[in-house]
Amino acid sequence: MIRKITKPVLIGPYTIGGGGRVLIQSMTNTRTSDAQATLSQIRALADAGCDIVRCTVSDNDDARALYQIKESSPIPVVADIHFDYRLAIAAAEAGADKIRINPGNIGSDDRVAAVCRVCREKKIPIRVGINSGSVEKEILNKYGAPTAEALCESAIKAARLLERFDFYDIVISAKSSDVVTTIMTNRLLSAQTDYPIHIGVTESGTERAGVIRSSAGIGSLLCDGIGDTIRISLSADPVKEIEAARILMAACGLRGAETVEIIACPTCGRTRVPVMEIAAELEKRIAAAKLKPKRRIRVAVMGCAVNGPGEAREADAGIAGGDGEALLFRKGKIIEKISCRDGSQSASNRLMEEIRRIIEEDNG
């Protein structure tokens, strides 16, 4: 895959764009003013693999809490601002690593200029975040609806406004809750700007539907080489967003989502071992073990000899089922036969052992 190389924009210890790895973001859903609750959620997100976290700053209490949050947060913190430019300034003063504004609802250009001035002084970037509901009237009139062209034009216009105030550390996002519009918008944006792009399908829904919709939208763009940071937004615990984002990034073959990926066959009339139970048990154990592999490790759980040995051979480790037993493969070699008469236990135990061994070997 050839990735679009965008302008590098620094955020804390990371670089967004510039051909660096795609960074995973999420957003806290605690009251930001409750610094302890917010920090505890940020730590859970960071543990799950979140690179950058966004917190709403909707009043002065939130802005004040940012000092404490920033002091202890293990990852860069973005302040999400709507309507009140003074809160953007207060958040920058409190040490936010990036400010997200929608120039369309911040008010007069003078106010945007004031935000740019403080962010330039503090050397922190601004994300201009546009969505379907915020497209300016004249652009809506021109296109008749918040189409991909309208969203793209609105986002480019927002970036140009910041440039007028001599501000260039810009990240752009233009989101729609419609998957196809999101894909088209970001393709247009990527063709028209070299600023890094944050991608996501906004308000994508509950955990199951939201993951599918986000994967269709974000996954298509990532496979096009578009996108420097992503957020899978779900109506669920934010940690679920990170778990889904990591699986999606690994599926797209991207760096930064080093994870243990389970490949499992869908089962059919030939299946004589409990494939679903073994795969589910393995997934549970991998998540509980909080493994930190250095690369994507693929583990195959296959039901029979039709595709099983082929897939298991391609994977780092895997099993191919027989009648109540399974062959355990490691890098294409059969290393032993495992009984599956005890359900998922022996097979998942042995696969976990192999996964740990692979990680140890990788770590030297």
Picking from 158, 100, 90, 93, the residue whose alpha carbon sits closest to that of residue 125 is 100
Candidate list 164, 270, 284, 357; residue touching ligand SF4; CB under 6 A: 270
Contacts of 357 (CB under 8 A, 6+ apart): none
Q: 183-200: string of b/e by CB count within 10 Å (b at 16+)?
A: bbbbbbbbeebebbbbbb
Task: Give yes or no for residue 303 binding ligand SF4 (CB under 6 A).
Answer: yes
Least distance in angstroms from the C-beta of 333 to ligand SF4: 19
Least distance in angstroms from the C-beta of 166 to ligand SF4: 60
Candidate list 81, 286, 304, 355; residue touching ligand SF4; CB under 6 A: 304
Q: Is there a contact between 4 and 225 (Cβ–Cβ < 8 Å)?
A: yes
Size, binding site for ligand SF4 by CB under 6 A: 12
Least distance in angstroms from the C-beta of 270 to ligand SF4: 4
Q: 230-255: string of b/e by CB count within 10 Å (b at 16+)?
A: bbbbbebbbbbbbbbbbbbbbbbebe
Q: Is there a contact between 262 and 299 (Cβ–Cβ < 8 Å)?
A: yes
Nearer to ligand SF4, 148 or 265 (CB): 265
Nearer to ligand SF4, 22 or 265 (CB): 265
Q: Is there a contact between 249 and 256 (Cβ–Cβ < 8 Å)?
A: yes
Nearer to ligand SF4, 271 or 345 (CB): 271
Q: Which stretch binds ligand SF4 (CB under 6 A): 92-100, 117-125, 187-195, 298-306?
A: 298-306
Task: Give yes or no for residue 306 binding ligand SF4 (CB under 6 A).
Answer: yes
Tracing tokens 């030297």 back to the chain, one arrives at 364
83 forms beta bridges with: none
Q: How far is CA 221 from the centre of its chain?
A: 13
Task: Give yes or no for residue 101 binding ligand SF4 (CB under 6 A).
Answer: no
Task: Give yes or no for residue 310 binding ligand SF4 (CB under 6 A).
Answer: no
Task: Give yes or no for residue 334 binding ligand SF4 (CB under 6 A).
Answer: no
Terminal-residue alpha carbon distance, the chain = 29
Least distance in angstroms from the C-beta of 209 to ligand SF4: 26
Kindly write down the DSSP assignment for every residue of 120-136, as one continuous string.
Answer: HHHT--EEEEEEGGG--
Candidate list 150, 265, 282, 352; residue touching ligand SF4; CB under 6 A: 265
Nearer to ligand SF4, 208 or 270 (CB): 270
Candidate list 1, 266, 333, 361; residue touching ligand SF4; CB under 6 A: 266
Ranges of beta strands (E only) in 188-244 are 198-199, 229-230
Candidate list 302, 340, 351, 352; residue touching ligand SF4; CB under 6 A: 302
Nearer to ligand SF4, 113 or 263 (CB): 263
Enumerate binding residues for ligand SF4 (CB under 6 A): 265-268, 270-271, 302-304, 306-308
